[in-house]
A and B are shown apart, each in its own frame.
Chain A
Amino acid sequence: MQEKKVGHLHPMSLIINCVTEIFQKIGFRVVDGPELETEWYNFDALNVSKDHPARDMQDTFWIETKDGSRKVLRTQTSNMQIRSMEEWVKTDMSEPLAIIAPGKVYRNEATDATHEANFYQLEGLFVDKKEHVSVGNLKWVIEKMLTDLFNRPISIRFRSSYFPFVEPALEVDMSCFRCDGAGCSTCKQSGYIELGGSGMVHPNTLNMCGIDSLKYSGFAFGFGIDRIIMMLYGVEDIRLLYNGDMRFTSQF
């Protein structure tokens, strides 16, 4: 029997490793934090109102705690925005805050071929003095990441949207990496692929982290990595990523 010498990493690890390489070149470092989070980091500090539907049982996994404290499995990697801003204000803030946070998130929803109750997101955050941060910078960072990740020129377009912790809130579509916008089955003939949310950090969120929103501003983005893997490789069912099947990971 010819023994295979080298093993295989999960595609999630491959993408995260590649993205880390891309971001470190433009000065963004990786941060890491808890998956089981307090209500403050997952909702309150992100300007999600007390009665926002996202906090409901059907969307969020709430944890039974002995002391009655309100804890959740994080529903987004955006908790790392708050945690890294809190760390940053302890410094002299002369260097901008530039981080990415890849990690696992959880949503209480029924699973099927395109929905999983746990999946991975890539969060990004940049905060600096107001005059050094713009929507144009956000656009550049995302385009840079995608162009290097897909190894071809990718452009993005923003669509006006709504998320409580960013203002303006922007949906991000990328030009299709398969057809470069001409229209194909991957992009459902539209030329574009929906990537995720982004925007300029809401002043309430900056203020809650102790950052003076009159002097500083920032941008943030959050994309699902599972979907990128599924599109890039034509993976037919998201559940294959989490069922311990070597027939899946051995292909990467």
Chain B
Amino acid sequence: MKRYSKKWMQTFVEGKFPEDDKIIIEELSKKSFEVESVEMSADGDSLFEIKVLPNRVSDAMSLRGMAREFSAVFDLKWNDKNIPDINLEDFKLNNEFYSPLFSPLSRREEMPIYIFSGVKVNNFDNSKETPEWLKDIILKCGGRSINLLVDITNLMLFSFGQPAHVFDFEKLNGKIVTRFANNEEEIELLGGKIGDKKITLTTDDFVIADEKQALSLAGIKGGKAAEVDKNTKNAFFELANFNGTMIRKTTQRLGIRTDASKIFENGITIYKTENVLKILLSTIKEMDKNAEVEFIVNQKFENKSPKWVETTLAHIENYAGIPLGAEKVVELLKKQNFEVDTDESGANFKVKGTDERLDINIAEDIAEEVLRLYGFDNIGSKALNLPITTSHNKRFLLENFLKIKLMDLGYTEIFNYTFVDSGEVKLKAGLAEDKMFLRDNLFSGAQKALVKNYNYLPILEIEVVKFFEMGSVFFEGREEKYLVIVQEDNKKKTKYLENIKEDLKSILLELGVEFKVVKESENPAILEISLDEILKELNNKNTQVPYLKIEKDLQLIKYFPISIYPFIVRDVAIWVDSNFGFENLKQDIPKLNLQNFVKVYMFDSFEKEGRKSVAFRIIFQSPERTLTDTEVETEMQKINNYLKKNNFEIR
């Protein structure tokens, strides 16, 4: 169930919900749940799509439960006439009709079921049309009307949050049983829109059965056997409450998720099941006054009573950081129909949540309930007054220090991927076959990055690739931080490895330590070291690492999306006066209304026989497609025209 009808929620509350749905969305989102959208139905009803959090499924995943949340948030009077004044003792109790089978008996310890309730009804006229109001509820909650008996079970689910199922009594073979499935037992499930489906069960799945066969997959989906139809007269309704972990395992294995399974996975209280049993009894009578309830089943496997939580005004006010007063606290709790006992001092409370809530167990839960309804917006910010500190973790300081020093020496930082195709540490399940291991070096990633970045030299405006990476590497039972540094061009003329070592040596000299090589190569020039080794030395010498701040205004950085299409480079050389500055061209060229222009920069200049030559590079690239030479020539023509007009001599 994802959508909640405003019209039907309104029937549970005496006061009026706000007309403006925007107010509902805003307030509910802050105080209760995220409202993802609101949709207008044909009859003018508002259908809210609300993301109920796991800890609130027990009470809020139904029209009635959500209506109660609305009434608390909008301070409206809750109208709880929906639990009929019925005494279950007035009905014939026949628990002999139900048999919990735990085989072997030890499996009872797993607590697969907390309560099993049922209603045997005779002489029900299921050929009757479902009333329009009930059809409307089912449709708006995302279900579909099947027949009157089935629609009654959907009413229990959607309006009251209790999954229910109904069987044709005449199609049953003996008693109703709940049990773990037999290995490879088969069951045909009712498919609804996707059609019926036969599935094979394991001994971890739990079923509702008769003495011959499995009838439904407990807490998840009904089965084909003993299905009710228009001719059904005598029926057996089942309401139960199952173990959430067990249900979750089955839904995961089978990939079947339903509103019912979502409710059980998160859990509901057994009181809810008992309340809905009363609602069911009165609904049956309401739908067909000639129907007769022959007996009911009500078997509990756990006996808990609603919990009283003790807390104090001081505790709640501590959390808020502001005084609230006892009166306000009690008012906010009572808005949600919580019971509150205040002692004589007025500062100590005993609080009991409504009997459908599973999430009210400790004093902090009470604080949360008070604060959210009080409104987190009403809690102002309150400064902490701590003295300045620089006692950061040393490894962090070392990394920070090295990064900034390497940047100053012209190296650019990159990140490569952690997941690789080989290593010492393997994942149990990974993203892909070639990403099943955690990297045990940064060297290979650097090699690949080097090859890749060679292609971008013109666009990066560099001739020599200089980069580094710092990252965790993983070994059997051990994790280390490595640093890899690369400096290379694709001409292989310079001994760049020496340069790298000189650079690193000079940086570490400031800290009074040296490095040991983990791995190095001359061609291409790559150096890999362990930061943990350096850290050991720093610790031995008891050397502190200073915290360095990067002097860069983060707001001034402009990022341009990277095109995946190839770029085209055009170089132009011109003769200029000896006092020529490139800045004018750099400003003018981008203004020439050039298509797919990326950048222009000067890459060479020399003087010869009293004349000066300047060479500059223009880069074209489209964000959407591969450019053709012809297209670029058209743009270059604009540049040539500009150069001629300004009396530059093209070399």
Spell out A's residues near B (CB within 8 Å).
1-15, 17-18, 20-21, 24-32, 34-36, 51, 53, 56-58, 61-64, 66, 73, 96, 98, 104, 106, 108, 110-111, 117-118, 126, 130-131, 133-137, 139-141, 143, 149-151, 157-162, 167-171, 200, 202-203, 217, 232-236, 240-252
Contacts and interface: CB of A to CB of B under 8 A. Distances in A.
Interface stretch (B79-87, B168-176, B212-220, B390-398): B390-398
A10 B417 contact: no
B410 A7 contact: yes
A134 B381 CA distance: 9
A248 B415 CA distance: 10
Contacts, number: 289
Given A27-B387, A162-B53, A247-B456, A7 B413 contact: yes
Interface stretch (B93-101, B421-429, B626-634): B421-429
Given A108-B431, A246-B412, A246-B467, 11 more contacts: A1-B604, A4-B462, A18-B554, A25-B388, A51-B244, A64-B428, A117-B431, A136-B380, A245-B456, A246-B456, A247-B562
6 contacts: A4-B410, A6-B410, A30-B393, A66-B476, A149-B554, A244-B415
A157 to B, nearest CB: 6
A24 B388 contact: yes
Given A130-B318, A135-B320, A203-B362, A168 B429 contact: no
B412 A141 contact: no
Nearest to B563: A247
A244 B449 contact: yes
B364 A235 contact: no
B452 interface: yes
B2 interface: no
A106 B318 CA distance: 35
Given A1-B604, A3-B410, A135-B379, A243 B416 contact: yes
B2 to A, nearest CB: 17
Interface string B98-138: 00000000000000000000000000000000000000000
Contacts of A245: 414, 449, 452-453, 456, 562
Nearest to B387: A27
Given A27-B388, A32-B393, A160-B376, A5 B410 contact: yes
Nearest to B561: A236
Interface of B: 29-34, 53-56, 244-245, 248, 252, 315, 318-322, 362, 364-365, 367-368, 371-372, 376-377, 379-384, 386-393, 395-396, 400, 403-404, 406-419, 425-431, 438, 445-446, 448-449, 452-453, 456, 459-467, 469, 472, 474, 476, 479, 547, 549-550, 552-555, 557-562, 601-604
Contacts of B552: 14
Nearest to A102: B396
B464 A3 contact: yes
B415 A96 contact: no
Contacts of A18: 550, 554
A251 B427 contact: no
A9 B550 contact: yes
A191 B356 CA distance: 36
Contact of B368 (A25, A61, A140, A160): A160
- Pick the 4 closest A-B CB pairs, nearest first: A27-B386, A134-B321, A136-B321, A136-B382
